[in-house]
Amino acid sequence: MSQRIAIIGGGQLARMMALDGIPMGISFSFLVEHGEDTRCVNNLGDIVTRSADQSSQALYEALGQPTVITVEKEHVDIPLLRELQSLCPVYPNPDGLEKFKNRLSEKRFLQSLEIPLAAFQEVTSREELEQAINTLAKPIFLKSQEQGYDGYNQYKITDDNAADVLSSIEFPSQWVAESFVDFQREVSFIAVRSTSNKVRIYPAVENYHHNGTLLTSLAPAPELSDDQIERAKSYLKKIVKAVDYVGVICMECFVCGDDILVNEIAPRVHNSGHWTSKGALTSQFENHVRAVSDLPLGSTEALGISGMLNLLGVTLSAEQACDAHSFLTLYGKTTRPRRKLGHVTVNYNNYDDAITRVKTLEELAYGKDV
């Protein structure tokens, strides 16, 4: 029977899943919000705009009676997904997605699994914020419980700006205050889990952020010990099992001495996994499609050393970016400051060449000062 996957969202992650799924004979449809830019997925399948009064049955029909529904983003309508679950499988399941949609519920869930995290406190009032400022290590990261990503909806609170932040936030509102983590590096781990509980994990990725947003990645992460990698993998295995997860999931971590602290879970294919498109036997996108379609998972083995440069609000032409070891992926979007417009991946047989090439591309895209 021919498979059809409906994806909630029509951005670049949906695009790359479709581009990897179409060659396997799978068709796609995309559910987008009214006014959402659909350029990334134009011509890759049916695009359905959500209307307020549409029943879940009508939506399921409009999406072409998909075999399975999946997501490309975290901020999804969980009650709608639960309704759609009566019509076809929804992977990852809505209960799991709900846990990761809110930073506080995510942290409490990770704590219940005894996974190490930065110290945190719930903040919903001025008094709670004052208390957090008086107890947590500064600079404190104050993050909104929902709708916050890539450093958006966040404050970095120091002794100098604490009074300003206290007076500028309107309560009641929902936040998590986090102690400063004096990390040496940031890494992420990407896993894929099948419907029959088979888990494969990609090699760790080292990530470099600029203004809270991922700028470059290097994989496999060069500086982790085998013990740190095994520990992190055991956290990820616990997480996917606990929520009966199906699909690709990303765990972002801080490396602090010997400790690995989990910062955030992204229940979807992830920017830090873009290197897998050219640098792993199976890309994260293909493995997500395979997992939700009940197909055998592909190997997550790395092929050589990969680097990735995100194109944020800037772009490179194919002439500038492509060479024997460098590959350009553009998402087809219009330019806006900080907007993710594309990425370049590089692949070599050694770290020096991969790092040097990413640095050259970074300067080409952003100039000397990013």
Distance CA(106)–CA(103), nearest Å, equals 5
Which helix (H) or strand (E) is 368 found in, with range? none
Which helix (H) or strand (E) is 219 found in, with range? strand 213-219
Please select the residue that binds ligand AMP; options are 20, 178, 206, 362, rule is CB under 6 A: 178
Q: Per CB under 6 A, does 209 bind ligand AMP?
A: yes
| Shortest distance in whole angstroms from residue 234 CB to ligand AMP | 22
Contact 262, 233 (CB under 8 A): no
Single out the residue of 360, 328, 354, 352 nearest to residue 342, CA to CA: 328
Contact 195, 246 (CB under 8 A): yes
User: Which CB sits closer to ligand AMP, 90 or 262?
Assistant: 262
Please select the residue that binds ligand AMP; options are 180, 195, 233, 237, rule is CB under 6 A: 180
User: Which CB sits closer to ligand AMP, 131 or 195?
Assistant: 131
Please select the residue that binds ligand AMP; options are 72, 98, 186, 286, rule is CB under 6 A: 186
Number of chain residues interacting with ligand AMP (CB under 6 A) = 13
Q: Give the binding range for ligand AMP (CB under 6 A) out of 23-31, 32-40, 179-187, 358-366.
A: 179-187
Q: Per CB under 6 A, does 264 bind ligand AMP?
A: yes
Please select the residue that binds ligand AMP; options are 64, 89, 116, 212, rule is CB under 6 A: 212
User: Which CB sits closer to ligand AMP, 252 or 286?
Assistant: 252
Which helix (H) or strand (E) is 25 found in, with range? none
Q: Give the binding range for ligand AMP (CB under 6 A) out of 43-51, 105-113, 176-184, 218-226.
A: 176-184
Q: Per CB under 6 A, does 106 bind ligand AMP?
A: no
Q: Per CB under 6 A, does 331 bind ligand AMP?
A: no
* Residues 256, 259, 263, 265, CA torsion sign: positive
Distance CA(340)–CA(106), nearest Å, equals 25
Nearest residue to ligand AMP on Cβ basis: 181
Q: Which of residues 122-161 bind ligand AMP (CB under 6 A)?
A: 141, 143, 149, 151
Q: Per CB under 6 A, does 206 bind ligand AMP?
A: no
DSSP letters spanning 159-197: TTTHHHHHHH--SS--EEEE-----SEEEEEEEEE-TTS
| Shortest distance in whole angstroms from residue 152 CB to ligand AMP | 8
Dihedral angle, C-alpha 72, 203, 115, 267, nearest 10 °: 0
Single out the residue of 145, 127, 140, 126 nearest to residue 178, CA to CA: 140
Residues that bind ligand AMP (CB under 6 A): 118, 141, 143, 149, 151, 178, 180-181, 186, 209, 212, 263-264
